[in-house]
Amino acid sequence: MRAAIAQSDCFLGDITRNLATHLRLAKEAVKGGATLVVFPELSLSGYLLEDRVKDIALSAREAAALFDDAGLSGTVIGVGFPEKTRGAIYNSYALIRCGAKKAELIGVQRKVNLPTYGMFDESRHFRAGSSLCAHELPGGATAAVLICEDMWHPALPVALAQLPDGMPHLVIVPAASPSRGYRGKRPSNLEGWEHNAEYLARVYGAATLNAQRVGVEDSLIFAGGSVATDHDGVLKRADLFKEEILFVDIDIEALSRTRAKAPVVSAHDREILRSLFA
Amino acid sequence: MRKKERPPLTLPPLNGQLAADALTFFIRRETERAGFDGVVLGLSGGIDSALVAYLAARALGPKRVTGLLMPYRSSSKGSVTDAKKIVKALGIRHHLLDITAAVDGFERDLMTDRDTLRAGRLGNAMARMRMTALFDYSLAHRAMVLGTSNKSEIALGYATLFGDSASAVNPIGDLYKTDVYALSRHLGIPKALIEKAPSADLWEGQTDEGEIGFRYADMDPVLHRLLDRRESPAALIAQGADPALVGFVSKKMLAMHYKRKIPIIAKLDTRTFGVDFLYAKDILS
């Protein structure tokens, strides 16, 4: 399968304009052969929403419905949005399958670890999610979503590997990581993302799609620099400081062969894990 | 026996290319999103404003950048000459606006007890007159005011409140003076500008380092350790940093914090500006 990371920019708090950006980039990605197009964290709304969150949050169904009649039939789109439920707002990510007319919701992931330190204040505005799952994509691949900070918590990939069917083929990692640390070769936050993507590929045999935001919101500079690993764990990088579509070809069969060669994760013994955590 | 010199603390070098690209992107995006046609900045002839001019020209093209040269009677003659060199090198727009008459008028008509703290107050008046001219230009020409204060100055509060500290957007406020030099060298800013002594240029012969009492080369690594890495003053002294310098810098950093805050509003109602009315400046209604 060919996947695409849409390293997108957005207008802070303006879902209508951001939807237009999503449709434009998704169409370009589809033209390039992609059947899965993933956008960054909170891609429909922007990141630094603060008090605006309450005014623009929408339900997962409403988010999916934005892609009705999108002209992207057969394409799966991953989008980030503030999700409104009856009693709470989550930092969520929806996988949406576009149809000939209606768009259908494949699943939603709610961010589990809400960074609330330094420049981050997420738990003030969002409630934390509490579950992880594998989403079935058309064609037989499975995908899990780790939203930004969730990729940095080692327990989460471990938990993914314990899902009933084992580690999903793809790990989609939408992020809005403000760049910082300009004293090295690359912004130091991006170096961390690369290490994480390579770690997931090497240890878990998962193809990783880390979709980074590009843009500026007040003091925060989102530098882009999305990364992807394919079935062999080969890393690809998007450019810095510009909108870009990064294509990656992932051979699901080859991915399974890679895992079989070094079945580190499948050797995880639940009983041992349980006793270690006891 | 000769005491062995401890190596001084150093600031890890900035990646000039990366920082230049980030700040170019930042200026372009902030200018366009805020709906301005271009930017305006005060060009003093010093390295900070020269760097901002170079970054802005790189971001927007020279014709969308305006430098205001605003000397006072006592400004060093070299300042205007140096500022003009930057204008010429970049091909940006500029206006020479002498603030002498305005500041003299202020002194004559608006200052009470003229002899109390006269030099400092006049220095403030000059900085605020320049701010007034910049924001006036901003409104008339749809140009966003770019700030030119660096992180060392901001940390030490070496600025006039509502004067040179005022701007719409400051691209270099997270760069120490040492970083400003590094980035300036990367962008090919003439050596003479980089090498001249930093000065607020409020009176003849004034220099930052003379007035502050320490060199930026010594202060910046200490600021970096205290501010960014949150090391303790005691730890820095144990590593060989000058105790007087560490004491000075750590006190100033908090004592001058008021200069970095918007005016404090007494909270009486449910949502109060500056307290719990939380929106990014870039939020769209």
**CB A68: neighbour CB atoms within 10 A?**
13
Q: Do A223 and B22 touch (CB under 8 A)?
A: yes
Q: How far is A101 from chain B (nearest CA, A)?
A: 30
**Contact between chains at B283 and A186 (C-beta distance less than 8 A):** no
Q: If you search the block for the tokens 């935001």, which residue do you land on? A: A213
Task: Please check whether residues B138 and B240 belong to one and the same domain.
Answer: no
| Claim to verify: residue B119 and residue B239 sit in the same structural domain | no
How far A181 CA sits from the closest chain B CA (Å)? 9
pLDDT given at position B165? 94
**Model confidence at B6: pLDDT above 60:** no
Number of H helices, E strands in chain A: 8, 14
According to DSSP, residue A29 is labeled H
Please check whether residues B113 and B31 belong to one and the same domain: yes
Q: Determine whether the interchain pair A182/B25 forms a contact, defined as Cβ–Cβ distance below 8 Å.
A: no
Question: Does the pLDDT of residue B7 top 60, yes or no?
Answer: no
Q: Does B183 touch chain A (CB under 8 A)?
A: no
Inter-chain residue contact A12 with B26, CB threshold 8 Å: no
How would you classify residue A239: left for phi > 0, otherwise alpha for psi between -120 and 50, otherwise beta?
A: beta
A212 touches chain B (CB under 8 A): no
Beta carbons within 10 angstroms of residue B206's beta carbon: 16
Q: Is the pLDDT of residue B3 over 60?
A: no
Average pLDDT over residues A40-54: 97
Specify the pLDDT at position B44. 95
β partners of residue A217: A220
Q: Are A47 and A80 in contact (CB under 8 A)?
A: no
* Inter-chain touch A51–B25, beta carbons under 8 Å: no
Report the Cα B71 to chain-centroid distance in Å. Answer: 17
Nearest CB partner across the interface for B22, out of A13, A182, A218: A182
Residue B206 belongs to a domain? no
Give the pairing type, strands A214-217 and A220-223. Answer: antiparallel
pLDDT at A273: 81
Q: Is B252 a domain residue?
A: yes
Give the chain B residue whose CA is nearest to the CA of A179: B22
Average pLDDT over every residue of A54-71: 97
Give per-residue pLDDT as tens, A213-265. Answer: 999 999 999 999 999 999 998 999 999 999 999 999 999 999 988 888 877 77
What distances in angstroms separate CA B158 from CA A149, B154, B208, one per listed residue?
37, 6, 9
Does B2 score more than 60 pLDDT? Answer: no
The H or E element that residue A201 is part of is: helix A188-204
Q: Collect all residues of chain A within an 8 Å Cβ-Cβ radius of residue B273.
A: none
Residues B32, B57: one domain? yes
Average pLDDT over residues B118-135: 96
* Residue B126: band (very low, low, confident or very high) from pLDDT cuts 50, 70, 90: very high
C-alpha separations of A266 from A155, A199, A224, A231 in Å: 16, 16, 33, 17
Rounded to whole angstroms, the Cα distance separating B280 from B282 reads: 5
CA distance B238 to B210: 27
Please tell me whether residues B219 and B185 are part of one structural domain. Answer: no
Asked if the Cβ–Cβ distance from B284 to A13 is below 8 Å, we say: yes
Q: What is the pLDDT of residues B102-119, one digit of tens each?
A: 999 999 999 999 999 999
In a domain, B274, yes or no: no
Is B117 part of a structural domain of the chain? yes
B178 and B236 fall within a common domain: no
- Is residue B4 assigned to a domain? no
Q: Which of A35-39, A90-94, B75-79, B80-84 has the lowest mean pLDDT?
A: B75-79
B1 is a domain residue: no
* B82 within domain boundaries: yes
**Rounded mean pLDDT of B61-67?**
98
pLDDT band at A267; cut points 50, 70, 90? low
> Given this model, what pLDDT does residue B229 score?
96
Q: Which residue has the tokens 């996947």?
A: A3
Q: Which one from A10, A84, A148, A244 is the annotated catalytic residue?
A: A148
- Using the Cβ of B275 and the Cβ atoms of chain A, whether some distance falls under 8 Å is answered with no
Give chain B as a DSSP string: -PPPPPPPP-PPPP-HHHHHHHHHHHHHHHHHHTT-SEEEEE--SSHHHHHHHHHHHHHH-GGGEEEEE---TTS-HHHHHHHHHHHHHHT-EEEE---HHHHHHHHHHT-SSTTTTHHHHHHHHHHHHHHHHHHHHHHHHTEEEBP---HHHHHHT-S-TTTTT--SB-TTTTS-HHHHHHHHHHTT--HHHHHSPP---SSTT--HHHHHSS-HHHHHHHHIIIIIS---HHHHHHTT--HHHHHHHHHHHHHTGGGGSPPP----SSS-TTTT----TT---
Q: What DSSP designation does A183 have?
A: S
Contacts of B22 in chain A (CB under 8 A): 179, 182, 187, 221, 223, 241
B47 and B152 together in one domain: yes
Residue in chain B nearest A224 by alpha carbon: B22
Residues B165 and B50 in one domain: yes
Closest CA to A196 of A184, A186, A208, A188: A208
- Is any Cβ of chain A less than 8 angstroms from the Cβ of B19? yes
Give the count of beta carbons closer than 10 Å to the beta carbon of residue A161.
21
**Strand extents, DSSP E, chain A:** 2-7, 36-38, 76-84, 89-98, 103-110, 135-136, 142-145, 170-175, 207-212, 214-217, 220-223, 227-229, 235-237, 244-249
Taking residues B116-136, report their average pLDDT: 96
Q: Give me chain A's average pLDDT, please.
A: 95
- Contact (CB<8Å) A14/B282: no
- The answer, yes or no, to whether residue A117 has pLDDT greater than 50, is yes
With a cut of 50, say whether residue A66 has pLDDT above it: yes
The model's pLDDT over B183-222, given as tens digits with 9 standing for 90+, comes to 999 999 999 999 998 888 877 778 988 888 999 999 999 9
Residue burial B126-149, b: 16+ Cβ < 10 Å; e: rest = bbbbbbebbeebbeeeebbbbbbb
B283 touches chain A (CB under 8 A): yes
Nearest C-alpha neighbor of A107 from the set A168, A149, A56: A168
CA distance A69 to chain B (A): 27
Is A74's pLDDT higher than 50? yes
Q: Are residues B177 and B219 in the same domain?
A: no
Q: Is the model's pLDDT at B157 over the cut of 70?
A: yes
Residue B102 and residue B157 in one domain: yes
Instruction: Report yes or no: A56 and A67 within 8 Å, Cβ to Cβ.
Output: no
pLDDT at residue A266 is higher than 70: no
Q: Which chain B residue lies closest to A181 (C-alpha atoms)?
A: B14
Please compute the mean of the pLDDT values over residues A171-186 and round it to a whole number: 97
Residue A269 has pLDDT above 90, yes or no: no
> In angstroms, rounded to a whole number, what is the distance separating the alpha carbons of residues A44 and A9?
10
Q: Which residues contact B131 (CB under 8 A, 6 or more apart)?
A: B162, B163, B164, B166
Say which CATH number the domain at B83 has.
3.40.50.620
Q: Which residues of A touch B25 (CB under 8 A)?
A: 216, 221, 223, 241
pTM exceeds 0.90 for this model? yes
The proportion of chain B whose per-residue pLDDT surpasses 90, expressed as a percent, equals: 86
Does the annotation count A111 as an active-site position?
A: yes
Average pLDDT for B146-157: 97
How much is the pLDDT for A118?
A: 94
Q: Does A221 touch chain B (CB under 8 A)?
A: yes
Chain B neighbors of A180, CB-CB under 8 A: none
Q: Which domain holds residue B235?
A: 214-261
Q: What is the pLDDT of residue B1?
A: 46
Q: Total structural domains in chain B?
A: 2
Q: Are A22 and A271 in contact (CB under 8 A)?
A: no
pLDDT at residue number A223: 98
| Interface contacts (A, B; CB < 8 Å) | 62
Same domain, B193 and B232: no
Determine whether the interchain pair B281/A14 forms a contact, defined as Cβ–Cβ distance below 8 Å: no
Class for the domain spanning A2-277? alpha beta
Tell me the mean pLDDT in the region B137-150: 98
Report CB contact under 8 Å: A183, B30.
no
